[in-house]
Structure 1
Amino acid sequence: MRIAMLHWAFPPTIGGVETHLTMLCPALVREGCEVALLTGAVDGRVAAETWEGVRIRRTPLMDLNSLSPTLIRRYKDEIREELARFIDRERPDVIHAHNMHYFSYVHAEALVRIKERVGAPLILSAHNVWDDETWEELLRLRFAWDGVIAVSHYIKRELIASGYPAGQIRVIHHGLDLARFQAATPPEAVRREIREKARGRKIVFHPARMSLAKGSDIVVLAFRRVKEVYPDAFLLLAGTNNTVDWGSYQQGEIAQIRRMIAECGLEEDVLIRFFPWEEMPAAYWESEVVVYPSSFDEPFGLVLLEAMAAGKPLVVTRAGGMPEIVVPGETGFIIPRRQPDALAEKILALLRAPDLVRQMGQRARRRVAERFTLERMVRETVAYYDEVCRTRGRAERGKRSSAIG
């Protein structure tokens, strides 16, 4: 099967969808599929390359960090031509777009035109939902997808509430390559660097980009309370480089969070470090507790699987799809949103109880191995490709029969 993937970004740009693609695309290749990805341009990277068997083509016309809505409208013809060239070159059996139900009507509408011309089914993976003018505009295309993959039951419910046909949507949870998170895997040099910075203190890790939506401000406030009663604690924040930041909001929020750290007197107790995808396991392994107190409805939370695979307990908010992953009291804790006192309480409960940390971590690793593996995700994705292709084939045969009749 030939698959044409499309998404705005790919490593070295990082984010949840980008991490998902680094696992899904090579795994599909190993299953015998031919996979090509059209994605955004990155300074210093060639326009075309092959990575782990995946043909990658980069173009500025897919780079949302540099494409404003005004520029998208200005270059709409060039965007349509770029997408058409990619599809015509790859001649796919399936066109699989990620998050094309938002950000740009021009890109999504171009794909709908192309799929009608080439006859390949068009599948959308919905990693997020929104509620604004752009979202409303793109709802005009909600019946144009031949299939929709929702990354959680929460996302499926939100899509149905927005008018997507329920029978069109399949929930396929993300999966993880567990081998990446075994004890011998994480880069030792990175682990040593983290240990040197922490100087023997127990590490609380927040593996999200620094932003208010991800609850970074709540983490800082909670950690201040933790330090007041548990001085032997250290906070590790995932850094800020190479993330999708359409609208350029992130730098202002980063500055705000850094000010909070200084105002709380925590500068000697916090390490902010950017972790490339291949270095993330090291941060989990050196941590005692992983927190993810998102302030918005997190669609799923791939980093939660990463933490669990590394055997770490989680403290998360009751937001979006995260309760589908964490079992309260067994693999971690679930708290209300934007409540630093509640977050601090659960962090302290774990820091003070090494046996509880170990037991929750063991149960977390088991849960990932049973329900959230890469193999399961790939198997369900390929089966869905086959199902959508068969359904579209029957529909096309029905149209031809009607025309003949």
Structure 2
Amino acid sequence: MKIALISEHASPLAAAGGVDSGGQNIYVANVARQLVRLGHDVDVFTRCDRSLLPLVSRFENIRVINVPAGPPVQLPKEQLLPHMDAFANFMIEFMKQERQPYAVVHANFFMSGLVGLRIKDALGVPLVTTFHALGRVRRLHQGESDGFPDARFAIEDELVSRSDSVLAECPQDENDLMHLYDADPARIDLVPCGFDRTEFHPLDKAQARTRLGWPQDRFIVLQLGRMVPRKGIDNVVRAMGACHATHGEAAELYIAGGNSDEPNEGATPEIGRLRGIARECGVEAHVHFVGRHGRGELKHFYNAADVFVTTPWYEPFGITPLEAMACGTPVIGADVGGIRYSVAHGETGLLVPPRHPDALAEALVTLKRNPALARRMGDAGLARAHAMFTWSSVAQALARVYARVSGEDTQTATALQMSRAAR
């Protein structure tokens, strides 16, 4: 099949870790890569956000089309909706000129979905939609700080009713679609996110710490990902304060992410807020910001840590827990959304309420005082990640959805994919 992936604000070429660069960028890049390995032709359409970008970029065997829609500068995703008409007009004309027709459009996020609806109406191409975050859920958790207009809700309603398939990334996502959007369960396909087995795998902890310059004799907690308030990093910092003051247990917290390679409060204002919280809690000397790092380095961070922590207020899925599990590191996560699905409480890690630093501190102390339990959880997480959450299995599931909505013979398509994957 020839497949169009739309990701209006999240380019697969962008460095993850910035304010608007995270899980969706990783999802689109890996889905595209794995679909190509299965033998499909994949084009990714994303908004041109730099003046010197060519119309067509390439990574591996994937075309990335940098769509001219709005000014060629980086804009917050909350400001992109007015530019989606231009995005759709460009895509329709581009697709008309292609020699081989597209079998399916897979839209990522609601604005890409709006573009996909225009393409569906103009060209009759089937539409598959992954929301990555639902507007009504976001508004529930972020309230007045949600910068998206109310028009988002009507767009999402139309996408739920008109998409040929709506992809839920976890059972909570599926439940929200049915109860907040009246989605027909027969038209929802549950397809999770994943990790790349060649990218994330266990390494020697001592060697990983030496590489990063981290101490060998400390209990180390890792927080890695986008540095925005809803990720709950302040909760982790406060939990560190409780570990020291309430439980008398020393630990070091390393925070990876931000808008620059070196930790910089100017580029990433959230760092300044978090440093202030660390000072208030008396743990400033134990909280370390290490900046943004390339994908190739992240496995060393996961492997160097004793535990990976992520406690966002809400999380549609969450890729970082999978990456930690794939490195054999136990995870403590917020009992929300996709984390509740990927982390098996008491088996591969522990789940705690969001915005509850005392509960998180107790979980951290539990693993510090029982290293054998932590090792068992790490081993179980590694097995669970490989059994349920590889990008190759995600791509195969997506290809089956694409084949169904585009009218291809699903059994024939699946057999062909498996044959190509085995080569």
TM-score (norm 2): 0.81
Tell me which of 158, 162, 176 is aligned to 1:140: 158
Partner SS state of residue 255, structure 2: strand
Task: Tell me the amino acid that sits aligned with residue 301 of structure 2.
Answer: A
Q: Distance in 2 between the 1:2 and 1:146 partners?
A: 17
1:113 corresponding residue in structure 2:
118
Q: Does 1:355 align with 2:372?
A: yes
1:82 corresponding residue in structure 2:
90
Q: Distance in 2 between the 1:119 and 1:295 partners?
A: 39
1:23 corresponding residue in structure 2:
30
On the 8 A contact 2:92/2:122 being kept in 1, the answer is no
Partner SS state of residue 57, structure 2: strand
1:12 corresponding residue in structure 2:
14
User: Aligned-pair distance for 1:152?
Assistant: 1.0
User: Aligned-pair distance for 1:68?
Assistant: 6.9
Tell me which of 50, 66, 77 is aligned to 2:75: 66
Q: Distance in 2 between the 1:265 and 1:42 partners?
A: 41
Tell me which of 229, 238, 243 is aligned to 2:256: 238
User: Aligned-pair distance for 1:113?
Assistant: 2.5
Greater mean alpha carbon deviation, residues 107-116 or residues 278-287: 107-116
2:142 corresponding residue in structure 1:
none
1:93 corresponding residue in structure 2:
103
Segments of 5+ residues of structure 2 without an aligned counterpart are 17-21, 140-149, 262-266, 410-423
1:168 corresponding residue in structure 2:
187
After TM superposition, list the pairs within 5 Å mapping 1:190-229 onto structure 2: 192-194=210-212, 196-198=213-215, 200-228=217-245, 229=247
1:177 corresponding residue in structure 2:
196
Q: Give the aligned length.
A: 377
Task: Tell me the amino acid that sits aligned with residue 286 of structure 1.
Answer: A
Tell me which of 33, 43, 48 is aligned to 1:41: 48
Distance 1:308 1:219, change over 3 A: same
What do residues 110-137 of structure 1 show as CA deviations (whole Å, max 9, x unaligned)?
A: 4322223322211111221122513322
1:55 corresponding residue in structure 2:
63
Q: Distance in 2 between the 1:148 and 1:205 partners?
A: 34
Partner SS state of residue 252, structure 2: strand
User: Aligned-pair distance for 1:363?
Assistant: 0.7
2:293 corresponding residue in structure 1:
275
User: Aligned-pair distance for 1:22?
Assistant: 2.1
User: Aligned-pair distance for 1:199?
Assistant: 6.0
Q: Distance in 2 between the 1:69 and 1:127 partners?
A: 15
Q: Distance in 2 between the 1:358 and 1:145 partners?
A: 44
What do residues 143-174 of structure 1 show as CA deviations (whole Å, max 9, x unaligned)?
A: 22111111111111111121222211100112
Q: Distance in 2 between the 1:209 and 1:279 partners?
A: 16
Tell me which of 360, 375, 383 is aligned to 1:366: 383
Tell me which of 379, 382, 386 is aligned to 2:396: 379
Distance 1:85 1:277, change over 3 A: farther
Distance 1:96 1:227, change over 3 A: same
Distance 1:24 1:234, change over 3 A: same
Q: Distance in 2 between the 1:371 and 1:291 partners?
A: 21
| Alignment RMSD | 2.9
2:171 corresponding residue in structure 1:
153
Task: Tell me the amino acid that sits aligned with residue 57 of structure 1.
Answer: I
Segments of 5+ residues of structure 1 without an aligned counterpart are 244-249, 393-405
